[in-house]
A and B are shown apart, each in its own frame.
Chain A
Amino acid sequence: MNIEKKVLKKDSLEALFSKLKGAGRRILAPVQKAGEIFFEEVNSPKEMAKDYIQTTLSARGAVFPRCEALLKYEFEGKEVKVEDRKDAPKPTVVFGLRPCDAASFAVLNSVFTWDYQDELFKSRLANTALISVSCAKSDEYCFCTSVGGGPGETKGSDILLTELGSGDYLAEVITDKGKEIVSLAPELFGPATDEAKEKYLAKVARQFDIKELQGKLAKNFDNTELWLSQSLRCLGCGACAYVCPACVCFDIQDEANRSGGVRLRCWDSCGLSLFTLHTSGHNPRSVQSQRWRQRVMHKFSYMPDRLNYVACVGCGRCSRSCSADMNLLEHLKEIMETK
């Protein structure tokens, strides 16, 4: 991976957006909506949220929408006519996501192209470019450096922008998709100076060693007291899974009437009590402590074992959104303290 370094002048963003739109791209960027920040379609950088650490929902909706139609069907007498999706996804640029978010796309991809090639996901991913912005600030909920990431990490981004002291951006063009974007507006990208980005990045101290954590997890599966004490205050909602950039669980619902219907895929959460309810009525994870254990094990033990990805990028959204203040990082550190 040959990273090209360029400089994007601070007042060039408007022109860049304009060029992207002119090339038929949809631009998703963080937008302030009352007290929360969401990735929404924008036309100009002026619409973007300012001065924040992290968005409320992640950008995973660009490739794994909250609710998408998989196929349509019509009843014609005794026949059923099924129609797969034929529309191509809109070419999209996600602008302003953090390096942790950019890293999460690889995690999603590992699941959606594992034993079954999810064509819808693949085509959305192929049509999405990521222009990330590195983190000048972090808060107590961030722990990207503990899971292999960092506030200025380039992995996963097509272009990574770092705001320099002058207000201009260091633009690291990492992939071919990134190069393609630069080629849409080459006049906006000047030569880079020798200035190192490190001094403009937030300091995120590493809180635990991921390999060590995995070892602890393997030993504590049956430590029911640990999982119970950690999850007593958990309310059992799905918020953590829904704000997470690396969560992949989904539900499939058919919505039909007498003339036909549509098959939908929508987000789901393993924290919800019915997630593992069998048709027989048996529920292997019938209590919250089992579901809490599942969440932690899945992200930090099973996924790394099976797919070589830690299914957490340390963005902290789950902890910021949790109304019961579960605080994942705190729980992980507690697990690190176990024998």
Chain B
Amino acid sequence: MEELRKKAAELLSSGTVKVVIGFAQGSGGKTRAAFAQTPDQAAKLICDERCVQNLAVYLSKSEVKSLGKIAVVAKVPVLRTILQLAAENQLKDGEIVVLGISPEGKLVELPDFKAIEDFLAKIPYELTPEQKAELEKLEKMSVEERWNYWQEQFAKCVKCYACRAACPLCYCESCLTQCNQPQWIPVAPHQVGNMEWHIVRAMHLTGRCIGCGDCERACPVGIPLSLLNRKLAEEVFKNFKTRAGVAAKEEYALGTFKPEDKENFIK
């Protein structure tokens, strides 16, 4: 990714940005997030198909922000996250430099949110056939089978909050789990505590999750968390015709309403 390295080095040496958040070689054949602050460090940046971590998560981390103006290597999920963060007033237009990476791996100039919106509009935003099949497999189960499936999954949870830490949209400095008068979400990793945590997180991400899957990748015990988020994202689209991460100005699906909203279960 020579173009990317050159651009990153240029941004750093000109002083336009103080840090470029990208990827570098990691351990075990994986890649890891890298924070290049000099042109020499920028020369070590890589970008290939292994680089899937949603780097936008670092945009809300205080010690990263305190390094100065940020440029971030942004594949499609990161671009969607940036728009969603903008829609939630967490990012201002021009606050960060976006080094877009197309699905083919090419560097794309995206100087402002409008450019990102236009770029993303050309890219299909839907579940892959595998993702659809995963959801269908669960939807075809009986209620009891689904209960047993999720109870088994939630039983593995240790409440490490890696899912929350990895998610760029879980940027609340004071998470609901801190509400302790009363302790609204049980701290302990028992069956109910685990289930309630994951349900709350899924609900708080409804209409906001852009489907990067980092939560599931981060989970040390292998709970298929993205199933929950994807299901709800599909329900939001089905019922309210909106998706997260499409525009820098978008209303939050559960923060707004239409008098014509329809349902069939209220007597």
A242 with B188: CB separation less than 8 A: no
| Number of cross-chain contacts by CB at 8 Å | 117
- The verdict on A336 contacting chain B, using a C-beta distance below 8 Å, is no
- The verdict on B81 contacting chain A, using a C-beta distance below 8 Å, is no
Interface size grouping (class) on chain A: 35 or more
> Once bound together, how far apart are the Cα atoms of A38 and B222, in whole Å?
11
CB nearest neighbor in B for A266:
B188
CB nearest neighbor in A for B194:
A67
Which residues does chain A contribute within 8 Å of B187, judged by CB atoms?
Answer: 251, 253, 266
Number of interface residues of B (CB under 8 A): 39
B218 with A235: CB separation less than 8 A: yes
Residues 198-228 of chain B, each 1 if its beta carbon lies under 8 Å from chain A, else 0? 0000000000000000100110111000000
- The verdict on A92 contacting chain B, using a C-beta distance below 8 Å, is no
A56 with B61: CB separation less than 8 A: no
A323 with B214: CB separation less than 8 A: yes
12 other contacts beyond A253-B187, A266-B189, with CB at 8 A cut-off? A36-B156, A57-B220, A67-B188, A141-B27, A233-B33, A237-B160, A237-B162, A238-B158, A238-B160, A241-B160, A251-B188, A320-B28
- The verdict on B267 contacting chain A, using a C-beta distance below 8 Å, is no
- The verdict on A19 contacting chain B, using a C-beta distance below 8 Å, is no
> Once bound together, how far apart are the Cα atoms of A325 and B159, in whole Å?
20
A228 with B63: CB separation less than 8 A: yes
- The verdict on A184 contacting chain B, using a C-beta distance below 8 Å, is no
- The verdict on B138 contacting chain A, using a C-beta distance below 8 Å, is no
With A266-B159, A267-B159, A325-B30 as known contacts, state yes or no: A237 contacts B218, CB within 8 Å: yes
- The verdict on B186 contacting chain A, using a C-beta distance below 8 Å, is yes
Residues 256-300 of chain A, each 1 if its beta carbon lies under 8 Å from chain B, else 0? 000000001011010010100000000000011100000000000
Which residues does chain A contribute within 8 Å of B218, judged by CB atoms?
Answer: 235, 237, 239, 323
CB nearest neighbor in A for B57:
A235
Contact of A236 among B32, B165, B183 (CB under 8 A): B165
A140 with B166: CB separation less than 8 A: no
With A253-B183, A287-B62 as known contacts, state yes or no: A274 contacts B178, CB within 8 Å: yes
- Please give me the 3 A-B residue pairs with the lowest Cβ-Cβ distance, nearest first: A237-B165, A323-B218, A325-B32
> Once bound together, how far apart are the Cα atoms of A139 and B28, in whole Å?
9
With A56-B221, A232-B35, A287-B62 as known contacts, state yes or no: A253 contacts B186, CB within 8 Å: yes
CB nearest neighbor in A for B32:
A325
Which residues does chain B contribute within 8 Å of A43, judged by CB atoms?
Answer: none
Residues 158-200 of chain B, each 1 if its beta carbon lies under 8 Å from chain A, else 0? 1111101110000000000010000100111110010000000
B189 with A289: CB separation less than 8 A: no
**Nearest CB of chain B from residue A48's CB, rounded to whole Å:** 18
> Once bound together, how far apart are the Cα atoms of A330 and B30, in whole Å?
14
- The verdict on A134 contacting chain B, using a C-beta distance below 8 Å, is no
- The verdict on B229 contacting chain A, using a C-beta distance below 8 Å, is no
A36 with B222: CB separation less than 8 A: yes
